[in-house]
């Protein structure tokens, strides 16, 4: 549990502010995260890492000479938004370009890919490497589907070293990808972790047992086995990692880097005890360990757990592995810090968006959009804890927090836009931008995309009629499916979105008023969301834990149904006032 807390929705932001205050000699606050306190030298590739909060020292703690130039910092267990990633990358980019490196999770991939596209469109060269070291999250022949855990440290250090050597962007990306391809991790958990403000842990492990294969977001393990001695645990972890030797690596001998990573509650003495047993086994396998790392590198709040990471080194990767670094949380060797002047904080900068002139009818419609968005804020505020509970059954439990941050930000942005006389389209676009930026994660990106798409279709020329609203929803549905790649049956919000859109379009085409058609469509979405309890997830973090989610509806589908139902109530209220 969290002992130091104000409001759970603000935990990540307030923690980041305190982190920067404690390390002003090394990092500065920038929009979207943190960056080195000194400028990136001309000709040096800037390495931007990132992910959700709750994993310190990943990710902000690894910003500094020898590793990363900047870190995009998402909400608790949620990816940073594309806007956050872009902002951090702009703050550190040089003429040599930017390498994005992050753990392979659906929300991170969606947002970092969008950021890469935007950076390239702005003329900033950009490449990406996703960390896929967790052998328990997908079979060997589907390595591209594996998630990133403590192997992040290997990959980020390699990227930082290559950048410091003056390698060009293609070479930095190539060596970083090779480090990822040669890195394997497996972990165990003895207890779950608890999100800030949550009343109970995301999952529990029966007494005397341990979960093998948990993720750093609190995802449950793949299997549960009896707890063992340190020697037996070392044998389990070592055997599984060594069975995954990368292609092209000799089965005999070799030099390896080893990380024993604590997830939060397992103390240093215990980690050292485990390392001693692992080192003996590695030596027995004919392997030479180079500069082992034992400590906390990728945590999960107070989770009692640990992981073993192995990287099979070649000459170049060994130089990267042994290289010096100086960051708030990782210091090795001697590092020369260039005397580059400190750059002023960019935290105060804000995106400037001019409100275009709108017709009187559209401005009035903008007020109705604001009321609809505020109804979403109210229902999400009320149901956030339950959404988090649903998400924790097979996911990472952050859906309620993310939806609350997104809905609040969208309502606030809509309020400001409407007060400035914005039309319905601009109000929706501003709300979508704010939702994506503050919520982060997959759902934040998709909700933001959906609202922006609706706003772009509706525009500010006139008040939209029922047909225009139905068409805007249909276009938003298409954009969400095109970007998120989900289909009906994958157990995502799409399972509620598609029937909602189809029902709304059909009823409006039959001549029904918007409030009546919307309410009936919301009922269809609610039924479809409930029906997802019978589905097995085929996308997202719940995918490796399919059976655990059976019998529980998808939280994304449930939150969507709650939102559109609330909007239906707002539409009816408006009709009553009009009549």
Q: In the 8-state DSSP scheme, what is residue 207?
A: T
pLDDT at 85: 98
Q: What is the mean pLDDT of residues 406-433?
A: 95
| pLDDT band at 543; cut points 50, 70, 90 | low
> Is 484 in contact with 494 (CB distance < 8 Å)?
yes
Q: How far apart are CA 266 and CA 269, in angstroms?
A: 8
Confidence of residue 338 (pLDDT cuts 50, 70, 90): low
Average pLDDT value for residue range 219-248: 91
Is a pLDDT exceeding 50 seen at residue 140? yes
Confidence grade of residue 354 (pLDDT, cut at 50, 70, 90): low
Fold of the 360-578 domain: 1.25.40
What tens digit of pLDDT does each residue of 44-58 get?
Answer: 999 999 999 999 999
Cα 60 vs. chain centroid, distance in angstroms?
14
Lowest mean per-residue pLDDT among 91-95, 219-223, 365-369, 383-387: 219-223
Q: What is the pLDDT of residues 237-269, one digit of tens each?
A: 999 999 999 988 876 779 999 999 999 999 999
Say yes or no to pLDDT of 149 above 70.
yes
Higher pLDDT among residues 123 and 538, named by residue: 123
Say if domain 8-326 classifies as CATH 3.40.1160.10: no
Residue 540 reports pLDDT greater than 60 = no
Give one word for 301, left, alpha or beta, with left for phi > 0 and alpha for psi -120 to 50: left
Within 213-354, strands assigned E span: 223-226, 255-262, 288-289, 293-295, 305-312, 325-326, 331-332
Q: Which pLDDT value is given to residue 165?
A: 97
pLDDT digits (tens, 9 = 90+) for 311-336: 999 999 999 999 999 999 999 998 86
Give Cα separations from 249 to 149, 253, 287 (angstroms): 22, 10, 12
**pLDDT exceeds 70 at position 351:** no
pLDDT of the residue at 342: 54
- Tally Cβ neighbours within 10 Å of residue 120: 14
Residues of the chain with CATH 1.25.40.340: 360-578
**Strands 305-312 and 255-262, bridge-based pairing:** antiparallel
Percent of the chain with pLDDT over 90: 81
Active site residue 399: no
Confidence band for 539, pLDDT divided at 50, 70 and 90? low
For residue 351, the SS3 value is coil
Max CA separation in the chain (angstroms):
83
Q: How far apart are CA 113 and CA 145, in angstroms?
A: 16
* pLDDT above 70 as % of the chain: 94
Region 495-521 average pLDDT: 97
pLDDT at position 340, please? 52
| Mean pLDDT confidence for 384-400 | 85
Q: How confident is the model at residue 353 (pLDDT cuts 50, 70, 90)?
A: low
Q: Which of 506, 500, 472, 513 is nearest to 564 (CA)?
A: 500
**Nearest alpha-carbon partner for 426 in 373, 505, 479:** 373
Domain ranges in the chain with CATH number 3.40.50.10440: 8-326
Q: So what's the pLDDT on residue 221?
A: 73
372 vs 391, higher pLDDT:
372
Q: Which residues 6+ apart lie within 8 Å of 564 measured at CB?
A: 500, 518, 521, 522, 525
Q: For helices 555-578 and 494-509, give the axis angle rounded to 10 degrees.
A: 30
Residue 347 has pLDDT above 50, yes or no: no
Q: Exposed, middle or buried by CB within 10 Å (0-12, 13-18, 19+), for 146?
A: buried
Among 217, 399, 457, 545, the active-site one is 217
pLDDT band with cut points at 50, 70 and 90 for residue 2 = confident
pLDDT over 90 at 177, yes or no: yes
Question: What's the pLDDT score for residue 350?
Answer: 47
| E runs forming strands in 68-217 | 70-76, 98-103, 126-131, 183-189, 209-212
Interval 196-216 mean pLDDT: 87
The predicted model scores a pTM of: 0.89
Residue 74: pLDDT above 80?
yes
Regarding predicted confidence, which is higher, 565 or 538?
Answer: 565
Q: Does the pLDDT at position 523 exceed 70?
A: yes
Structure tokens at 115: 């950021």
């Amino acid at each position: 549990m969290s002992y130091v807390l104000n409001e759970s929705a603000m935990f990540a932001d307030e923690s980041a502010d305190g982190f920067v205050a404690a390390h002003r000699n090394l990092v500065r606050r920038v929009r979207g995260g943190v960056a080195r306190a000194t400028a990136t030298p001309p000709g040096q590739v800037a390495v931007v890492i990132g992910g959700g909060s709750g994993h310190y020292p990943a990710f902000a703690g690894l910003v500094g000479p020898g590793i990363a130039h900047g870190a995009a910092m998402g909400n608790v267990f949620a990816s940073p938004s594309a806007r956050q990633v872009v902002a951090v990358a702009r703050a550190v980019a040089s003429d040599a370009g930017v390498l994005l490196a992050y753990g392979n999770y659906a929300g991170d991939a969606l947002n970092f890919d969008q950021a890469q596209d935007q950076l390239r469109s702005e003329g900033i060269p950009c490449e990406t490497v996703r960390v896929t070291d967790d052998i328990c999250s997908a079979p060997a022949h589907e390595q591209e589907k594996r998630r990133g855990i403590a192997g992040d440290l290997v990959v980020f250090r390699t990227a930082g070293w290559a950048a410091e050597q003056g390698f060009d962007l293609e070479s930095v990306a190539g060596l970083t990808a090779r480090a990822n391809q040669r890195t394997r991790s497996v972990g165990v958990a003895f207890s779950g972790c608890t999100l800030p403000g949550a009343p109970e842990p995301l999952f529990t492990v029966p007494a005397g047992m341990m979960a093998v294969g948990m993720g750093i977001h609190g995802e449950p393990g793949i299997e549960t086995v009896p707890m063992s001695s340190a020697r037996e645990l070392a044998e389990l972890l070592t055997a599984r990692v060594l069975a995954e030797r990368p292609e092209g690596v000799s089965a005999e001998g070799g030099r390896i880097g080893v990380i024993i990573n604590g997830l939060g509650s397992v103390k240093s003495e215990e980690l050292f005890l485990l390392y001693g047993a692992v080192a003996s086994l590695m030596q027995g396998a004919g392997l030479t360990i180079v500069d082992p790392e034992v400590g906390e590198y990728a945590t999960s709040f107070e989770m009692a757990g640990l992981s073993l990471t192995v990287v099979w080194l070649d000459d170049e990767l060994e130089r990267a592995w042994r290289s010096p670094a100086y960051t708030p949380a990782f210091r090795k060797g001697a590092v020369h810090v260039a005397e580059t002047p400190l750059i002023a904080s960019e935290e105060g900068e804000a995106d400037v968006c001019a409100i275009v002139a709108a017709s009187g009818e559209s401005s009035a419609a903008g007020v109705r959009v604001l009321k609809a968005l505020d109804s979403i804020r109210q229902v999400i505020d009320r149901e956030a804890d339950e959404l988090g509970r649903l998400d924790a059954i097979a996911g990472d439990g952050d859906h309620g927090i993310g939806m609350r941050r997104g809905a609040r930000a969208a309502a606030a942005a809509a309020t400001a836009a409407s007060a400035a006389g914005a039309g319905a389209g601009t109000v929706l676009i501003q709300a979508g931008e704010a939702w994506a930026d503050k919520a982060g994660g997959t759902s934040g990106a998709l909700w933001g995309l959906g609202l922006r798409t609706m706003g772009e279709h509706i525009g500010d020329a006139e008040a939209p009629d029922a047909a225009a609203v139905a068409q805007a929803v249909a276009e938003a549905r298409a954009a969400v499916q095109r970007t998120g790649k989900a289909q009906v049956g994958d157990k995502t919000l799409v399972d509620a979105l598609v029937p909602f859109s189809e029902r709304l379009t059909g009823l409006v085409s039959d001549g029904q008023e918007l409030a009546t058609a919307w309410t009936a469509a919301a009922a269809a979405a609610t039924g479809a969301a409930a029906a997802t309890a019978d589905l097995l997830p085929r996308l997202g973090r719940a995918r490796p834990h399919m059976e655990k989610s059976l019998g529980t509806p998808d939280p994304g589908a449930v939150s969507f149904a709650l939102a559109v139902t609330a909007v239906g109530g707002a539409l009816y209220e408006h009709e009553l006032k009009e009549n």
